[in-house]
């Protein structure tokens, strides 16, 4: 059996509607994630949402924030420090931030017509147009490389995850990614599907028995000639008993999906046009076997352990000289479970079938 390697990734962002204090919902919980990782000699890769960072930077430079609120500076300082400490930065977009109006420090009017990456107004465009897909990738890659190379000249931006997993239809996007030098995508969550009038993705056709695959035109279709490697977020099915068990565990342990003093809310709760599940549909979902992502924020140790054990079973006959990557996802704005996360890393440290990324080795995304 090939050994597994746990790849910890976190989307570095506030909430998709712009709510959430940057310190309380982003930089403080991100710092706590890094400290816990470092205590186990492992790293986290921050998929850094550059569109909101550009908005924060522009408004800060123009003097629109209150004197004590410096979100762009806080983010820059933390991201540079993260690289110094052996963590990694890779690329992430929420294009609704390309057209914005600032209402207050933590209240924004964003263009939700651009929520999905394929809806970027100027299509593939060119790399000098920041409202085209080519321009987004060129500017985003440069932004991260300028930040990271100020402390690590060897840094490379080579991986991407689409905001809210909204990458489809993806043919044009994948061409731009390949031309920009993006070698990895980690947007796909096999088996997962959503269409709620805001987000759309459908990964039900993605391979569930492969830890990675080459792609060219479709993220969920294997193409050996593809220049990009899809390394999916690990998912496994939970039946109704397991779902109820893990939800009960969360309640009994009072596990929160918010860090302390983080009061932001996701756009799915605040936007009227988003389709919301009725109570009946929520009950039906609870009694329907469905895939869950390996999420290390806001979840119990029991659920995370179960999903990793599912990965062990799935890949027990997989032959590979290199460890098999198992990608976990998280969000600092949802990191209300530090004790559970610590327990997970302690458990992984004791297991022979899985290892963590060492801070001393090159990041999986840059190797």
Q: What is the CATH number of the domain that holds 163?
A: 3.20.20
Residue whose entry in the numeric block shows the structure tokens 């989307």: 11
Q: 72 and 60 in contact (C-beta within 8 Å)?
A: yes
Name the phi and psi angles at 326, rounded to 5: -120, 110
The predicted pLDDT at position 286 comes to 76
Within a domain: residue 362? no
Within a domain: residue 320? yes
Q: What is the largest CA-CA distance in the chain?
A: 58
The predicted pLDDT at position 65 comes to 93
CA distances from 86 to 107, 185, 326 (A): 33, 21, 20
Within a domain: residue 365? no
Question: What is the three-class DSSP state of 88?
Answer: strand
The residue range of the domain holding 302 is 4-356
Q: 309 and 294 in contact (C-beta within 8 Å)?
A: no
For residue 58, say if its preceding peptide bond is cis, omega within 30 degrees of 0.
no
Comparing CA positions, the residue from 170, 82, 175 lying closest to residue 127 is 175
Name the phi and psi angles at 159, rounded to 5: -135, 155
CA distances from 182 to 12, 57, 162 (A): 19, 25, 13
Number of alpha carbons in the 13 Å side-chain half-sphere of residue 365: 30
Question: What is the three-class DSSP state of 357?
Answer: coil
The predicted pLDDT at position 105 comes to 82
Within a domain: residue 241? yes
Comparing CA positions, the residue from 224, 94, 89 lying closest to residue 158 is 89
Give the CA dihedral 303, 308, 313, 316, nearest 10 degrees.
180
Within a domain: residue 239? yes
State the Cα–Cα distance between residues 268 and 275, nearest whole angstrom: 8
Strands 354-356 and 193-195 come out as: unpaired
Within a domain: residue 363? no
Within a domain: residue 364? no
Within a domain: residue 298? yes
What is the radius of gyration, based on Cα positions, of the chain? 20
Strands 324-328 and 4-12 come out as: parallel
Altogether, the residues listed in the chain come to a count of 367
State the Cα–Cα distance between residues 152 and 181, nearest whole angstrom: 19
Predicted confidence pLDDT, tens digits, the chain (367 residues) = 789 999 999 999 999 999 999 999 999 999 999 999 999 999 999 999 999 999 999 999 999 999 899 999 999 999 999 999 999 999 999 999 999 999 988 899 999 999 999 999 988 888 999 899 999 999 999 999 999 999 999 999 999 999 999 999 999 999 999 999 999 999 999 999 999 999 999 999 999 999 999 999 999 999 999 999 999 999 999 999 999 999 999 999 999 999 999 999 999 999 999 988 777 777 777 778 999 999 999 999 999 999 999 999 999 988 888 899 999 999 999 999 999 999 999 999 999 999 999 999 999 999 8
Comparing CA positions, the residue from 98, 79, 95, 56 lying closest to residue 144 is 79
The predicted pLDDT at position 279 comes to 75
How many independent structural domains does the chain possess? 1
């Amino acid at each position: 059996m090939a050994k597994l390697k746990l790849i910890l990734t976190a989307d570095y962002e506030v909430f998709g509607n712009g709510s959430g204090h940057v310190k309380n919902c982003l930089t403080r919980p991100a710092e706590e994630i890094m400290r816990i990782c470092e205590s186990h000699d492992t790293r986290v890769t921050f998929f850094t949402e550059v569109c909101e960072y550009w908005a924060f930077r522009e408004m800060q430079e123009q003097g629109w924030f209150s004197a004590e609120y410096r979100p762009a500076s806080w983010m820059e300082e933390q991201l540079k420090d993260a690289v110094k400490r052996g963590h990694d930065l890779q690329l992430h977009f929420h294009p609704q931030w390309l057209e914005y109006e600032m209402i207050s420090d933590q209240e924004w009017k964003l263009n939700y017509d651009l929520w999905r990456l394929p809806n970027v107004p100027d299509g593939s465009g060119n790399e000098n147009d920041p409202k085209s897909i080519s321009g987004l990738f060129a500017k985003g890659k440069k932004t991260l490389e300028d930040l990271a190379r100020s402390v690590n000249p060897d840094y490379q931006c080579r991986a991407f995850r689409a905001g809210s997993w909204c990458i489809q239809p993806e043919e044009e996007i994948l061409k731009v990614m390949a031309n920009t030098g993006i070698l990895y995508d980690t947007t796909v969550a096999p088996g997962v599907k959503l269409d709620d009038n805001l987000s759309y993705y459908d990964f039900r056709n993605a391979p569930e028995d492969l830890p990675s695959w080459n792609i060219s035109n479709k993220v969920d279709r294997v193409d050996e000639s593809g220049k990009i490697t899809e390394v999916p977020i690990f998912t496994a099915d939970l039946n109704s008993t397991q779902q109820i068990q893990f939800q009960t565990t969360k309640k009994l342990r009072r596990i929160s999906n918010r860090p302390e003093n983080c009061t932001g809310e996701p756009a799915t709760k605040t936007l009227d046009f988003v389709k919301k599940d009725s109570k009946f549909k929520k009950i039906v979902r609870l009694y329907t076997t469905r895939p869950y992502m390996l999420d290390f924020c806001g979840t119990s140790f029991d659920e995370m352990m179960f999903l990793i054990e599912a990965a062990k079973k799935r890949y027990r006959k997989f032959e590979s000289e290199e460890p098999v990557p198992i990608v976990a996802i998280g969000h600092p704005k949802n990191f209300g479970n530090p004790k559970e996360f610590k327990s997970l890393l302690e458990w992984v440290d004791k297991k022979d079938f899985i290892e963590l990324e060492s801070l001393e080795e090159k990041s999986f995304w840059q190797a």
